[in-house]
Amino acid sequence: MLREKRIGIIGVGNMGEAILRGLQDRGVAEGVVVSEIRPDRSDYIARTYRVEAIPDNQQLTSQVQIVILAVKPQEMEGVLREMSPALDSSKILISIVAGASTAAISSILQKDLRLIRAMPNIAALVLESATALSPGGDASAEDLEVAQAIFEALGTTVVLPEALMDAVTGMSASGPAYVSLFIEALADGGVRMGLPRRDALELAIQTVLGTAKLLLEQGEHPVKLKERVASPGGTTMAGIATLEASGFRGALIEAVTSATQRSKELAKM
């Protein structure tokens, strides 16, 4: 599906680079071109990935069938206006700009376009992203399939109504920070009980990785895995009881809620 299409990535920071690397590693696209405002970064990307760097956003847009917009929110309007003369309904525009709705993009460009909004997370850097996709504008089912093929090169995808994108931001986009905090605290607990810090951190990271892989591969609900580990009157139940008494579950739910609300506030701004 992607082999016959030329893809342009505008903005190759961490996420833009992750998308580029994922496409190349999975061999799903050739002839990817990039645009990056920082000359040193542009040179690094061109040299490292052997891709063409085109500094002019309008020129890049005119040469590709799919444009992935991966710039910072404050840069989006200016970049869209640069691209606009070369943007038409023959192209798919995929935006990963945080907080930018397809309606906001359409209002800036004032034209009918095939738009897809995507929300990956930082795990795309190791090709394990959780990405939500929402079609907008005149995007077709086939356009959505193209976007899925791109982001499935980086991990897993789900298709959701755009109204739920703030919730995705609050959960999976922010989620790596929550998990990192949990891993740090888990390791600190081990250190408190006498484990060397390096060993405690390695054990904590592998425990989270192994648990996630177990749930994914066995398709088991988390509560079932918890029950398998937590034997009656055992050590795990003692630990779970302490977490519950400390409001662990509620705190995490409130964290997602707060982050979702903040995402909505930033979108309005």
Q: Is the pLDDT of residue 119 over 90?
A: yes
pLDDT at 97: 92
pLDDT tier at 92 (50, 70, 90 boundaries)? very high
Say if residues 146 and 2 touch (Cβ distance below 8 Å).
yes
Proportion of the chain in helix, strand, coil states, percent, rounded to 5:
60, 15, 25
Distances (CA, A) of 41 to 3, 7, 70, 79: 26, 19, 14, 17
pLDDT at 1: 66
Say if residues 161 and 144 touch (Cβ distance below 8 Å).
no
> pLDDT above 90 covers what percent of the chain?
83
Give per-residue pLDDT as tens, 124-147: 989 999 999 999 989 999 999 999
The CATH class for the domain spanning 175-268 reads mainly alpha
Torsion angles phi and psi, residue 10, rounded to 5: -100, 110
Say if residues 169 and 259 touch (Cβ distance below 8 Å).
yes
236: how many CB neighbours lie within 10 A of its CB? 13
Return the domain boundaries, the chain: 7-165, 175-268
pLDDT at 110: 92
pLDDT at 29: 65
CATH code assigned to 7-165: 3.40.50.720
Say if residues 64 and 91 touch (Cβ distance below 8 Å).
yes
Q: Is the pLDDT of residue 99 over 70?
A: yes
Give per-residue pLDDT as tens, 25-70: 877 667 799 999 999 999 999 999 999 999 899 999 999 999 999 9
Task: For residue 265, give the amino acid letter.
Answer: E
d(CA 108, CA 80): 7
Q: Is the pLDDT of residue 154 over 70?
A: yes
d(CA 242, CA 210): 23
CA torsion, points 13, 16, 19, 25, in degrees to nearest 10? -50
Q: Which of 141, 175, 177, 174 is nearest to 159 (CA)?
A: 141
Distances (CA, A) of 183 to 35, 109, 170, 171: 36, 43, 19, 17
Q: Is the pLDDT of residue 190 over 80?
A: yes
